[in-house]
Amino acid sequence: MARVNALIATRMASEHAPRIPEVTRHLVEAGGKRLRPLLTLAAARLCGYEGEHHVRLAATVEFIHTATLLHDDVVDESSQRRGRPTANLLWDNQSSVLVGDYLFARSFQLMVETGSLRVLDILSNAAAVIAEGEVLQLSAARSLGTGQDTYLQVIRGKTAALFAAATESGAVIAGAPDSHVAALRTYGDALGIAFQLVDDLLDYGGVSATLGKNTGDDFRERKMSLPVILAVAQADPEQRAFWTRVIERGDQRDGDLEHAQTLMRRHGALEETRSRAFARADEARAALAALPASALRDTLSDLAGFVVSRVA
């Protein structure tokens, strides 16, 4: 990971536009979990890779992630990210859009350096699924008609596509057999879905529906995440009128978030979201059985448990 971080620092530089490293550094140095590059490194090493390209791939994946964060914060008009003011707030939307484009181009240069067309295919497909999911989320928000299929497509774009590309491309660069590549892809996809389900559940305070400083963003942005979809599906006419008001019309008042949480608890929407997250974590762990036993395989298995432990 130290070499990945060094490569990120080198490649976020710009000979001509100092604004680029300023904005990027602000986001990169705030930390973040570096989960995605870690997945790439682990997948490559687990498949016996001993070359150098996995470091490039890991940096690629983190650049794609950083670029999407910059654009997401513009789209969501966010003001906080990783405990810091967002780049769109510190600089402006323009810088966030353009620096995001630059990082996307840089990620693309890095992956071309691996010289693997198969890796390029995986990552370019992931980039398309990510962008499509973001657009889908935009048009699916604020509409009570949004169903579970659309939600799954959105979170695949938001999270699972890059997780899956991270693990799959790590296996491919290592020259792993198809069965191992497929297993690591399934692992990444299931892990990413579990991760996002947990995030969406925590946005309503987890199964205990506790209010916290990170609670309520999705509600305020009127996103159709799974807890809302499940609660709406079981709403009586009066409850449906409530959801129409707060999500479709965006007329939100004091106490509405708490009422939303109460309805979710009453209909078991939070419990159900949690149980789906656990099922995806199990799916991720099960996929690893196709790979030979090793300490790294155990680490990936533990990671699946760790991802859902936030809502245990």
Query: Residue numbers of the site for a copy of itself (CB under 8 A)?
Result: 14-20, 68, 71, 74-75, 93-95, 97-99, 101-102, 104-106, 108-109, 112, 115, 117, 120-121, 124-125, 127-128, 130-136, 138-139, 150, 153
Identity of the residue, 46 or 126, whose beta carbon is nearer to a copy of itself in the bound complex: 126
φ and ψ at residue 311, rounded to 5 degrees? -120, 20
- What DSSP state is assigned to residue 292? P
- Cβ 170 to a copy of itself, closest distance in Å? 18
Identity of the residue, 116 or 225, whose beta carbon is nearer to a copy of itself in the bound complex: 116
Estimate the crossing angle of helix 295-309 against helix 35-46, to 10 degrees. Answer: 150
- Cβ 16 to a copy of itself, closest distance in Å? 5
The answer to whether 26 and 84 have CB atoms below 8 angstroms apart is yes
Identity of the residue, 158 or 274, whose beta carbon is nearer to a copy of itself in the bound complex: 158
DSSP string across 139-196: HHTT-TT--HHHHHHHHIIIIIHHHHHHHHHHHHHTT--HHHHHHHHHHHHHHHHHHH
Identity of the residue, 5 or 93, whose beta carbon is nearer to a copy of itself in the bound complex: 93
The C-alpha R_g of the chain, in whole angstroms, comes to 20
- Cβ 268 to a copy of itself, closest distance in Å? 28
Structure token digits, residue 49: 């890779």
Tokens 């709403």 -> residue: 235
Estimate the crossing angle of helix 53-75 against helix 19-28, to 10 degrees. Answer: 90
Q: Return d(Cα 203, Cα 215) in angstroms, integer.
A: 5
Identity of the residue, 64 or 209, whose beta carbon is nearer to a copy of itself in the bound complex: 64
- Cβ 150 to a copy of itself, closest distance in Å? 8
Of the candidates 58, 132, 71, the one whose C-alpha atom is nearest the C-alpha of residue 101 is 71
Burial 216-248 (b: 16+ CB within 10 A, else e): bebbebbbbbbbbbbbbeebeeebeebbeebbe
- Cβ 151 to a copy of itself, closest distance in Å? 12
- Cβ 156 to a copy of itself, closest distance in Å? 10
Identity of the residue, 123 or 198, whose beta carbon is nearer to a copy of itself in the bound complex: 123
- Cβ 71 to a copy of itself, closest distance in Å? 6
